[in-house]
Structures are given as C-alpha cells and as structure tokens.
C-alpha cells in the first residue's frame, strides 16, 4: 500500500450489473476518478451461506435487502470467479492495485493463484478466526473492517494475524449500515484504534458524500474505502449507497486537499515568513519629540510595521529619555534612547 498518502480503495462489490464489460469499465472509471485500488469480493452463494428458505436465512434488518433470502441475494450479487483474472489484468493496465475480500479458504487459494497483493476481511467475517488465520498465513498486508466488532473481536483478530507472523495490519472503522447516518460514523474511533491496538487505521465508509473521508484523513486514516459504481442506473444490491465516477472523483479531490491542508508540523522561518514579518508590530515614535523628552505612553506605541524595537521592551523603556529630536513615525531603537 502507499506509505506517503491515504490509500483510496474503490469497492466494486455487487456493482457489475452481471456483465464483465461493465465490471471492466468500472475498473477504468475508478482509475479516472483517482482511486489507488479496486477491490473485489470473492465468494459464491454457497461459500458464504446456505440455500435454506427459512426465517433464519431471510433478511429482516430494516435494510434495502429486507425480504430476500441470503442465498438469493449473494447469488445475484457475487462476482463470477472467472472474471477475476480479466479484472486484475485491466487494473494492472490502468496502474491500479487490484485485490479482494475472500469469504472462505477456497477463495484465498484462488486469489493466491492470482498473486493478490492485499487481503481484505469484511466486517461480518471478523469473527471467522480460522479464515483470518489462513489469510494472515499468506503474509500479505491484511485490512480488516470492524462494522459489527466488539473490542474483544478486534483484539482476537489482530492477535490471530500476529500469531501467524503477519504484522502488516490495518483496521478500518466501519458502520455496518447501508447507507450509514453521519451521527453513527464516530470517526474519533480511528485515532483510538491506532493508540489502543498499535496498528494502522482507516475508514470503510458507507455514509453519503465526501465529508466522512475528509474528517477521517484529518484524524489519521491511512486507508479510505468507498463503494463505487459506473452508473447508478445499473442498479444492484449496493447501488443505492455507492458513488459514481463524478462523486468519487470529488471525494478523492477532497481527500487530497485535506492531506495538503494537514501538511506537517512546521515552525521553520522561511524567506516568505520573514518577508511577512515586516507587517508585525514594533515600537514607533508617535509624535514629534525633543532632546530629553521622557518616553511615555503618549509618544510611543506598538504599531505595524516591524522596523522598530520589539514590543516586549515597551515597559522597559518607559520613563527613559530621547537623545535627540525625532519626527513622528521614527522607529524606536536603542540608539535613540539616553
């Protein structure tokens, strides 16, 4: 991953419209929009759930997917595995990092054949410790979302990675709502993750707009992930909370501007700053004075520009006397004082 700026991931997810050509063009659009990476999801309906039509497997969470059975949803949303290599190839042509979220060991094995450079663990898989252990054993950077995680879940996932000898861990703050409300974002969790767990942190964002990524970067996020779609008219399971090319580009621009605004700790006195200091305050004579006149609040003041004595000497020189006559507007200096 990139080390000198936030790593911005466009999540393809289910936004392929059942067409490889749409998926390919989505990768190209992600590049145009300024993404650093395109992320896929590697599963089949059978590797992620069971084909069972009971209430246990029906979605009733107050989401856009309510009423569907899990197997049906994932069957329609899944990315065919035979599309992966063509998409990895297009990403390489475009100069994008391409990687994926595997949902079982067979998906990990498949992605290893593609030499995937990174692994992502989805929010709802953070409790699948055997899967995390297997992913971590591949010694690739691992990104883990925390949407439904407790502190204990996060600790166990991180410990599992470290026990496998994998310490390149990034934990993403994530709100598992689609879309997520701003008041549920709680982005102060991002720096707390770094402090509490000693890992890199970022944001898997399901809010609408660019504001959350901007704040996240300001709080130290090193990764931003957003769902990306070529055109919302394509529809699909994730279209309603995904960004199109224009929206994603605006978000990327906002993040990069935020990075420039953050900059670095800077107290250096540059030539530009030195020049600007000419407009800072200093002590000047404010009325015509004669030899021996007493220096008082009536005849000196701290004003702009900066060619006189530093204002810190104001009280020290009150009560002293002028050496010679001086005109109003003369910079005060030690040379004019008896």
End-to-end CA distance of the chain: 67
Is 33 in the same domain as 87? Answer: yes
**Is residue 26 a part of any domain in this protein?**
yes
CB atoms within 10 A of CB 4: 5
**Is residue 71 a part of any domain in this protein?**
no
**Is residue 18 a part of any domain in this protein?**
yes
The DSSP code for 227 is E
Is 25 in the same domain as 85? Answer: yes
**Is residue 61 a part of any domain in this protein?**
no
Is 189 in the same domain as 253? Answer: yes
CB atoms within 10 A of CB 178: 17
Is 275 in the same domain as 239? Answer: no
Domain count, the chain: 2
Q: What is the CATH number of the domain that holds 183?
A: 3.20.20.70
Q: What whole-number distance in Å separates Cα of residue 284 and Cα of residue 113?
A: 77
**Is residue 310 a part of any domain in this protein?**
yes
pLDDT at residue 337 tops 60: yes
Is 241 in the same domain as 277? Answer: no
Boundary (domain end) residue, out of 262, 279, 297: 262
Cis peptide before 85 (omega within 30 of 0): no
**Is residue 242 a part of any domain in this protein?**
yes
Q: pLDDT value at position 107?
A: 98
Boundary (domain end) residue, out of 262, 290, 311: 262
Boundary (domain end) residue, out of 262, 291, 324: 262
pLDDT classification of 147: cutoffs 50, 70, 90: confident
Is 128 in the same domain as 84? Answer: yes
- Per-residue pLDDT reduced to its tens digit, 15-42: 999 999 999 999 999 999 999 999 999 9
**Is residue 58 a part of any domain in this protein?**
no
pLDDT classification of 235: cutoffs 50, 70, 90: confident
- Per-residue pLDDT reduced to its tens digit, 109-144: 999 999 999 999 999 999 999 999 999 999 999 999
Domain that holds residue 129: 7-43+78-262
Specify the pairing of strand 300-303 against strand 282-285.
Answer: antiparallel
What is the average pLDDT score of the chain?
95
pLDDT at residue 176 tops 60: yes
Percent of residues, the chain, with pLDDT higher than 90: 87
Residue 197's contacts (CB-CB under 8 Å, 6 or more residues apart) are 154, 155, 158, 171
Asked if 121 contacts 145 with a C-beta cutoff of 8 angstroms, the reply is yes
Asked if 255 contacts 6 with a C-beta cutoff of 8 angstroms, the reply is yes
- Comparing C-alpha atoms, which of 1, 9, 83, 72 is closest to residue 42? 83
Whole-model pTM? 0.87
- Per-residue pLDDT reduced to its tens digit, 302-332: 999 999 999 999 999 999 999 999 999 999 9
- Tokens, residue 229: 């779609």
Is 199 in the same domain as 315? Answer: no
Is 232 in the same domain as 300? Answer: no
Q: pLDDT value at position 239?
A: 86
CA angle 207, 212, 213 (to 5 degrees): 110
Residue 55's contacts (CB-CB under 8 Å, 6 or more residues apart) are none
Q: What is the CATH number of the domain that holds 292?
A: 3.90.1210.10
Asked if 236 contacts 14 with a C-beta cutoff of 8 angstroms, the reply is yes
pLDDT classification of 1: cutoffs 50, 70, 90: low
Is 144 in the same domain as 233? Answer: yes
Q: What whole-number distance in Å separates Cα of residue 188 and Cα of residue 216?
A: 8
Is 171 in the same domain as 218? Answer: yes
Is 325 in the same domain as 255? Answer: no
Is 225 in the same domain as 276? Answer: no
Q: What are phi and psi of 64, to 5 degrees?
A: -70, -10
Q: pLDDT value at position 2?
A: 47
pLDDT at residue 195 tops 70: yes
**Is residue 2 a part of any domain in this protein?**
no
- Per-residue pLDDT reduced to its tens digit, 239-294: 888 999 999 999 999 999 999 999 989 999 899 998 999 999 999 999 999 999 99
pLDDT at residue 85 tops 70: yes
């Amino acid at each position: 991953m990139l080390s000198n700026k936030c790593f911005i991931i466009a999540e393809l997810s289910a936004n392929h419209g059942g067409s490889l050509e749409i998926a390919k063009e989505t990768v190209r659009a992600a590049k145009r929009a300024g993404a650093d990476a395109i992320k896929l999801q590697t599963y089949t309906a059978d590797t992620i759930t069971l084909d069972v039509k009971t209430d246990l497997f029906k979605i009733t969470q107050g989401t856009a997917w309510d009423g569907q059975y899990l197997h049906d949803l994932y069957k329609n949303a899944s990315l065919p595995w035979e599309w992966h290599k063509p998409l990895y190839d297009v990403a390489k042509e475009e100069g994008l990092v391409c990687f994926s979220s595997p949902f079982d060991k067979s998906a990990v094995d498949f992605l290893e054949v593609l030499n995937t450079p990174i692994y992502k663990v989805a929010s709802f898989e953070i409790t699948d410790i055997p899967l995390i252990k297997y992913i971590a054993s591949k010694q690739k950077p691992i990104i883990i979302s925390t949407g439904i995680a407790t502190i204990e879940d996060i600790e166990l996932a991180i410990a599992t990675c470290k026990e496998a000898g994998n310490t390149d861990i990034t934990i993403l703050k994530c709100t598992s709502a689609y879309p997520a409300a701003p008041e549920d974002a709680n982005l102060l969790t991002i720096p707390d993750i770094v402090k509490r767990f000693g890992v890199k942190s970022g944001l898997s964002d399901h809010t609408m707009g660019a504001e959350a990524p901007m704040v996240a970067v300001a709080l130290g996020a090193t990764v931003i992930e957003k769902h990306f779609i070529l055109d919302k008219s394509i529809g699909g399971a994730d279209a309603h909370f995904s960004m199109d090319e224009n929206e994603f580009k605006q978000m990327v621009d906002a993040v990069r501007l935020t990075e420039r605004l953050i900059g670095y700790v800077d107290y250096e006195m540059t030539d530009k700053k030195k020049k600007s200091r000419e407009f800072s305050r200093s002590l000047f004579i404010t009325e015509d004075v004669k030899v021996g006149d007493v220096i008082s609040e009536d005849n000196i003041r701290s004003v702009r520009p900066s060619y006189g004595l530093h204002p810190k000497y104001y009280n020290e020189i009150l009560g002293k006397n002028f050496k010679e006559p001086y005109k109003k507007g003369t910079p005060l200096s030690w040379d004019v004082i008896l």
